Each structure stands twice: as C-alpha cells, then as structure tokens.
Structure 1
Amino acid sequence: MAAPLNSKTIAFLATDGVEQIELTRPWKDLQGAGANLHLISLKKDDIQAFHHLDKAHTFPVDKVVTDVNANDYDALVLPGGVANPDALRQDRDAVSFVKHFFNSHKPVAAICHAPWLLIEADVVKGRTLTSFPSLQTDIQNAGGKWVDEEMCDDNGLITSRNPQDLDAFCARILEVLSQV
C-alpha cells in the first residue's frame, strides 16, 4: 500500500535558532507518511538548532527562500524556537513565502513562537490560533483570537503551543494533508 502523502511536497521554513524537536518530530512523521520534504532557509549553509537555550544539532538546508516558489509546495511547516521566527520575520522573502500559502489557501502548520512570522505576514486577522503563551498579546494585537489549547485548526492553519503538544500537532498535520 502506498504511503498516504507520497504525492505531497512540504516546505519547512527555518533558520538558526530553530527548536530542534519542533523541526525533527513533524519532519519524521511527514517523512514516514511518504511526503517529500524540503528544508528552506535564509542561507544555503547548515542551520543551528537548539534545545531550549542549548545548542543542539545542525541540519543541512535544501533550498534558499529566494530560490523557491511556494506554488511548488502543498503545505508549509513553521517550527518555533525564539530566535528562528524572529529572524525569519525580518526577511522580506520569507514573509512573502509564508503569505503566498495563505493567498493560495494551502495548509500552514506553526508551533510555539512561529506565529510571529504569521503576524508579520499579516495573515492572523480574523483567525483563531494558539502559540507559546507569550505571543497571546501579539496575536490579539494583530486581530487574531488566541486560545490556550494543545492544537488549533482554523481552516488549515494548524497551530500548537510548545513541544509537549507535538502529538496533537503532528496528528492534525497528517490528517489535513491526507485530505488535500
């Protein structure tokens, strides 16, 4: 039997400072379901992941955000960490890449601090989402509704609070992608 996602190509957008488990766990689950995955970043070099504030592993980048087209992807995964989304939201090409997924009505999954990038892309207004609790005010100020739940799915915008929510987060990503 073929894997349920073997026809899907998924973009992971991350840079230095990404929370390692928020990158590796969804990656493992999606890869196990047969999806084709690309790690996209701001630079071609490896990116440095962290386990909270401690350096963890490095990961090779497949493509640079300036060289990709969002039309080539079925969905987008945005891992968190504090430094990762903070750096990404300052890059015009990364923000534009994220916004394209919303304009195309494609699934986007963001965990922990990753909704900072959604706020910068101006795609939060009128949406319900969750995040690391410190982003609650930022989300509300951007016109979104923040909820304290392990996973929230607002019409294909899948969000979770932190690594403890990865089971629900990854399960919902797989469910949504198997239906598109």
Structure 2
Amino acid sequence: MLQGKTVAFLVAPEGVEQVELTEPWTAVEQAGGAPRLISTKPGRVQAFHHLDKGDTFEVDATVDQVSVSDFDGLVLPGGVANPDFLRTVPAAVRFAGDFFSAGKPVAVICHGPWTLIEADVVRGRTITSWPSLQTDLRNAGANWVDQEVVTCTEGPNTLVSSRKPDDLKAFCQAAVDAIGG
C-alpha cells in the first residue's frame, strides 16, 4: 500500500514518546513504505516511556537538510517534550506547515498538534489530541473532538489525528491509508 513512498517522522532530539514513534514506523514499513527519522540535530534522538528514558534512534537527516518534496507524508509523534520543543524551532514548524501547503497527508498523535498550532494549519480542521490540548486547538480555530482517530479532509490535505498510545492501532491504520492515498 505504501510501496515506493517515503514518510518523514519529525521528532525533537529528546522527548518523543517511544511507542508513538515505533508503532507507526513499523506500520509504514509493513505497508512497504520507507520511514525516515528527521530531527533538528544530527546523531541520535532519545525516546521516552512517559517520563522514563527509553531507547535512542539514529537520525536520518536534519530538518534543514530535507524538503517536503522528498516525502509522501509526515508523522508527528507525541510525548509532551517532543512537540513542545519542535514548536520553538522555526525550521521544524515550517517543515510541518509545508506539508499542508503541498497538500500532503499528515498524521499526528497525542501532544503532537502543538507543532501544527504553531504552524497555523489547524484552523477549520477537525482534530483530536491528548485532552489537555483541546483548549489550545480550539483557540487556534480547530474543531476538537474526543475520538480514537479522526481523518479530516476539510482542508488542503488529509489530516489524521489520535489521542494517545491506546489509540495506536486505529491511528497506524488511518495514517497508512491516508499516506497510501
């Protein structure tokens, strides 16, 4: 379903929720796609299991070394620290926003929408997230709903969103479907 498709996974150098990185990554691989780990710094990123350190993962490229044209879709994993850091890095915010300008699918989970709020791309979109982001998303013009997975096509691209790790099975399937077209 994703044969020949390359998917960017944008994460901060530290703080990504490991399962929200690894399960979608595996789903992309199993669908025949090529996931690539993009960060703001070269080297390795430190993942977390909630507040405890998890594994580290090798960065494929930094955000300033790639272009949206290199990818068929974007996945934004959560964790609290991950998107909180990314939204402070203009190149990362621009990279995420450029997927919307290019009409390419984006999948986001948990706290990941913070990066999209900063990119000003959620206005008029229906989205879900970790519940504590609902006010932020509504203030940014989004229609926040409490659902396992939401696939929104009310804009220039398909936006898939989920709330939490418990939603990963549905999130992974919807993300693969959206990126696969």
Tell me the TM-score normalised to structure 1 length.
Answer: 0.96
Identity of aligned residues (%): 56
2:84 and 2:115 in contact (8 A); partners too: yes
CA RMSD of aligned residues (A): 0.6
Q: Distance in 2 between matches of 1:67 and 1:174?
A: 25
Measured in 1, the distance between the counterparts of 2:35 and 2:24 equals 10
Match of 1:60 among 58, 61, 68: 58
Deviations 1:121-168 (A, max 9, x none): 000110110000000000000000100000001111000000000011
Unaligned 5+ runs, structure 1: none
In structure 2, stretches of 5+ residues that fail to align are none
Task: Establish whether residue 9 from structure 1 lines up as the match of residue 11 from structure 2.
Answer: no
Task: Give how far 1:178 is off.
Answer: 2.4
The answer as to whether partners of 2:162 and 2:171 remain within 8 angstroms in 1 is: yes
SS at structure 1 position matched to 2:37: strand
Q: How does 1:140-179 map to 2 (within 5 A)?
A: 140-155=138-153, 156-179=158-181
- Give the Cα–Cα distance (whole angstroms) in 1 for the partners of residues 169 and 120 of structure 2: 28
1:50 aligns with 2:52: no
2:92 matched residue in structure 1 = 94
CA distance, structure 2, for counterparts of residue 83 and residue 178 of structure 1: 29
Distance in 2, matches of 1:107 and 1:52, equals 27
The one-letter amino acid of 2:178's match is V
Deviation at 1:60, TM superposition (A): 0.5
**1:10 positional shift:** 0.5
d(CA) in 2 for partners of 1:92 and 1:150?
30
> Secondary structure of the equivalent of 2:169?
helix
Structure 1 runs, 4 residues or longer, greater than 6 Å off: none
1:79 counterpart residue number: 77
SS in 1 for 2:168: helix
Q: Which residue of 2 aligns with 1:40?
A: 38
3-state SS of the aligned residue for 1:34?
Answer: coil
